[in-house]
Structure 1
Amino acid sequence: MLFPYAYNILGTAEDAKDAIQDVLYKFLAADKEEIADPKNYLIRSVINQSINIKNQRKKLQLGDAWLPEPVDTEGADTNINLNEIVSYSLLILLEKLNARERAVFILKEAFAYSHEEISKTLSISVEHSRKLLSRAKQKIDQVHAPVTVQKNEGVTPAVLEKYMQAIRSRDVKALENILTEDIAYYADGGTVVKVFAKHCTGNQEVADLLVFVFHKYGADWTIEAGEFNHQPALLFYQGDVLKSCQVFGIEPETNKIFQIGNVLDPAKLPAIGRGVE
């Protein structure tokens, strides 16, 4: 129950688990007679602990090189309420917000909290909650990134088959036609893996980059389909070692790719694939 609250604010499963563990330790040691509503107490405590951790972690992150840790929404633990985990495309955009703006946005848009409920949860006024939500919406572009997306049902969309076929055959023009004109590509190698480009936009530039990187580094890798944060993904393996996880934002109207989040950071890959270093 608590995981989606923490994860949506923090963007990593490990940090979310740390926040929940800290809160549960304090809860177990607390005087329960002073806690009228344990469920709301835990939710409120986890949200505020997540905000604190996010503020601390923000100083250590690598700007536009940092991507959220994808969560498997196809074969994940059924005890987690997957419906409340927001889309990966939106998680990337939420990095533009400060921790409190992000918390208000998540509570309102993902959990359908009223501003009155948000004010009690975050100990702020209703008016301040409204201002934070307005400010958050101004900072992020939701044209391509809904809060949740239709379940992929584990089937790789045909567009990704065309995507890989174009990359393998070095057909840049065909690849450009699969991407939206304003596509955004992000790559996160953490502090270990040096990426060729951390951020790239525009279908021509992204297509050239994808073809170059694949044939230079990953032409002999095997590829498996997956689903992370309710969006289709491709997992790239070198033997049994997971080297990259690409999560795709696809426009349902045009079936074109509008965003690619390429996670190469070894610190984020262990919980994703079937085998890592």
Structure 2
Amino acid sequence: MNLNTNYQNILFPYAYNILGSVDDAMDAIQDVITKYISSSKPNIENEISYLIKGVINQSINIKKRNQKTTGDKIWLPEPISTEKADTNINREEIISYSMLVLLEKLNPKERAVFILKEAFDYSHEEIATAMSFSIENSRKILSRAKKALEKMKKDFEPSPMASPTFLKEYITSIKTGNVSALEKLLSDDIMVKTDGGNVSIVSELMVGIKEVIKLMIYVYNTYQKSFSIVESTVNHQPALMFYNDGKLVNCQVFELEKDNEKIMTIYSIVDPEKLKK
């Protein structure tokens, strides 16, 4: 039996939601499956539960290691298209992009408990079994995680989807330099967060409507005029994909205000390592 083929679609959302990286998620899955295949498998009654537990804990270990290397730089999750069905991945179990960014504020164990409860609807008993601690610890860790998120004044619902014309209006306004049109589309305190990896970028963080409009028009006129721009859905949120000679070079994911369709955050991924998939 090919465990990679049979179980990858089940295991991937667990690993990716904890790690925010496709490559790291695949590494975690491969490590666990390889060890399982080579083990003697004593007293394993439920194979998939055993593998899920292994992937969760391996992902936590990888996340702990990675957090030590990213430092204070803005680190954004690797985007995944959720626009079309994929037979290899259950995209309904992929967390929204804004939530993945927010979860970076939690430690890996808090993040895992929160994800298991909120995304996979695990009971505290199931979480305790998967993570090898008590039910009471599960409750305490979840409570701590929710309090940390509440301090950042975020709720746990995904960003609302844009109207069919929303992204077209936005990119047309950028292309034409229409400041007044952009002012109607952007929140006054809009933020642009950019992850360039090892690539040089214009700005890592920009805050405020006037500054953001200047930045986005400048970036388009200086770098993106010849690019092909495609509307998409990334981690259940509206996105624009920028292609240079057929190669994806920038993914912009939009977080919208809940009471209207004004943009409150643009997550801009330029890091080539996160645009390979």
Provide the TM-score with structure 2 as the length reference: 0.89
Alpha-carbon distance change, 46 to 87 in structure 1, aligned in 2, over 3 angstroms: same
What secondary structure sits across from 2:221 in the alignment? Answer: helix
1:231 maps to a residue whose letter is Q
1:5 matches 2:14: yes
Is structure 2 residue 220 aligned with structure 1 residue 211? no
Q: Distance in 2 between matches of 1:159 and 1:144?
A: 23
Partner SS for 2:240: strand
Give the equivalent residue in structure 2 for 1:275. none
Residue in 2 that maps onto 1:109: 118
CA distance in 1, matches of 2:170, 2:154: 19
Q: What is residue 274 of structure 1 aligned with on the other side?
A: none
Matched, 1:22 2:31: yes
Show the 5 A alignment for 1:232-247: 232-247=238-253
Q: What is the count of residue pairs matched by the alignment?
A: 267
Letter matched to residue 2 of structure 1? L
The answer for unaligned runs of 5 or more in structure 2 is 1-9
Partner of 2:5: none
When residues 4 and 159 of structure 1 are mapped into structure 2, their CA distance, relative to the original with a 3 A threshold, is: same
CA shift at 1:226, angstroms?
1.5
Distance (whole Å) between structure 2 residues aligned to residue 257 and residue 54 of structure 1: 30
Q: Distance in 2 between matches of 1:2 and 1:149?
A: 25
Q: Distance in 2 between matches of 1:140 and 1:200?
A: 22
Contact 1:235 1:244 in 2 (8 A): yes
1:172 aligns with 2:165: no
Percentage of matched positions with identical amino acids: 49
Match of 2:67 among 50, 53, 58: 58
Q: Distance in 2 between matches of 1:74 and 1:205?
A: 31
Amino acid at match of 2:97: Y
Asked if structure 1 preserves the Cα contact closer than 8 Å seen for 2:167 and 2:231, the reply is no
**Once the 2 structures are TM-superposed, how far is the Cα of residue 20 of structure 1 from its aligned partner?**
0.4
Return the letter of the residue paired with 2:225.
Answer: A
| Range moving further from structure 2, 73-82 or 228-237 | 73-82
Q: Please provide the CA RMSD for this pair.
A: 2.1
CA distance in 2, matches of 1:187, 1:91: 15
Secondary structure in 2 matching 1:70? coil
Indicate the residue corresponding to 2:192 in structure 1: 185
Which digits, 9 at most, give the CA deviation of each residue in 1:187-238, with x for residues without a partner?
11101x1111112233333222212221122122221112211112111122
Q: Secondary structure at the match of 1:129?
A: helix
Distance 1:199 1:145, change over 3 A: farther
- Secondary structure of the corresponding residue to residue 54 of structure 1: helix
Q: What SS does the corresponding residue of 2:114 show, helix, strand or coil?
A: helix
1:1-277 matched pairs, under 5 angstroms: 1-75=10-84, 77-140=86-149, 146=156, 148=158, 157-191=164-198, 193-251=199-257, 253-271=259-277
Q: Measure the CA separation in 2 of the matches of 1:111 and 1:55.
A: 22
| Cα distance in 1, alignment partners of residues 156 and 139 from structure 2 | 20
Q: What is the letter of the counterpart of residue 228 of structure 2?
A: T
**SS state at 2:69 partner:** coil
CA contact (8 A) 1:3 1:80 kept: yes
For the 8 Å contact 1:97–1:139, the answer to whether it is kept is: yes
- Structure 1, unmatched stretches of 5+, are 272-277
Give the conservation status (yes or no) of the 8 Å contact 2:229–2:242.
yes
Shift of 1:147: 5.0
Higher-helix-fraction structure: 2
Quick one: structure 1 residues 240 and 3, their matched pair in 2 at CA, closer, same or farther if it must change by over 3 Å?
same
Equivalent-residue separation in structure 1 for 2:96 and 2:114 (angstroms): 14
